[in-house]
Amino acid sequence: MIDHDVLSVFCGPAGDFGNELGVVHGLNVASDAERLAIARDLGFSETVFVDDPVRAAIDIWTPSVRLPFAGHPCVGAAWLLDTSELETTAGIVTVRRDGEFTWITARAEWVPPRTLKQYGSAEEVNELEVPPPGEWIYAWAWQDEPTGQVRARAFPGRGDGIDEDEATGAAALLLTSTLSRGLTITQGRGSQILTCPKPDGSIEIGGRVRRIAAHSGSGGGDLE
């Protein structure tokens, strides 16, 4: 068994829901093919490989591709490593804690391609069927526009077994950049993402994190 933690990121106000994240330790020499195989075996929408716990250097994988940046892996890794910044392929992600929330700061240009689709009501978003693979779609609607309350669902469309993503920080960041305002997003079954634009054009993304499980292993070998 490999050494890894399982976290739930962007939990709801009661600590429930959230998007599961695998955080793998001690495999900094693993090849890309090995990392892809581990990400597929774990089966989460994203898995983080901690390449250097001191520098908090991380590598992010879905079950099919590497990502230069992703929101819920960064928030989860920042919480777990208790660090002030993360090193990602896209750039340095700064981190702060505020009570029960862990916040990261990132930039919209780091976000992989996403299609934002606005709907007329939260009910319309709730009733959507999973679209066929092809396009990465972030479906959203205002729940209360004056207060920045948004209902959203995410459909990665990669055809890799993740038909709907429970909570997606990168898409929330892109929506915040497009709307130029802070948001409180309820996504999936009840996950919650908070966002806040900053004067320099960067955007903060915040959420609650909890540990679901910790698995200790030899640092190599097959996943059990």
Question: What average pLDDT does this structure show over 44-58?
Answer: 96
User: What is the topology classification, in CATH, of domain 110-207?
Assistant: Diaminopimelate Epimerase; Chain A, domain 1 (3.10.310)
Q: What span, in angstroms and rounded, lies between the C-alpha atoms of 210 and 135?
A: 31
Three-state SS for 207? strand
- Domains 4-92+211-215 and 110-207 fall in the same CATH topology: yes
pLDDT in tens, 177-201: 999 999 999 999 999 999 999 999 9
Q: What is the pLDDT of residue 167?
A: 97
> Does pLDDT of 219 surpass 50?
no
Token pair for 193: 């993402």
**DSSP for 104-157, written as a single string:** EEE-GGGSPP-EEEE-S-HHHHHTPPPPPTTS-EEEEEEEEGGGTEEEEEEE--
Q: What is the pLDDT of residue 26?
A: 87
Residues in the chain: 224
> Does pLDDT of 124 surpass 70?
yes
Q: What span, in angstroms and rounded, lies between the C-alpha atoms of 185 and 140?
A: 9
Superfamily of domain 4-92+211-215: Diaminopimelate Epimerase; Chain A, domain 1 (3.10.310.10)
Q: What is the pLDDT of residue 83?
A: 97
Element of type H or E holding 6: strand 4-11
Q: What is the pLDDT of residue 97?
A: 97
Question: What average pLDDT does this structure show over 104-112?
Answer: 96
**Partner residues linked to 66 by β-bridges:** 61
> Does pLDDT of 224 surpass 60?
no
Q: Domain-by-domain residue ranges, the chain?
A: 4-92+211-215, 110-207
Mean pLDDT taken over the chain: 94
Q: What is the pLDDT of residue 221?
A: 39
Q: What percent of the chain has pLDDT over 70?
A: 97
Question: What average pLDDT does this structure show over 148-174?
Answer: 96
Residue 208 carries which DSSP code? E
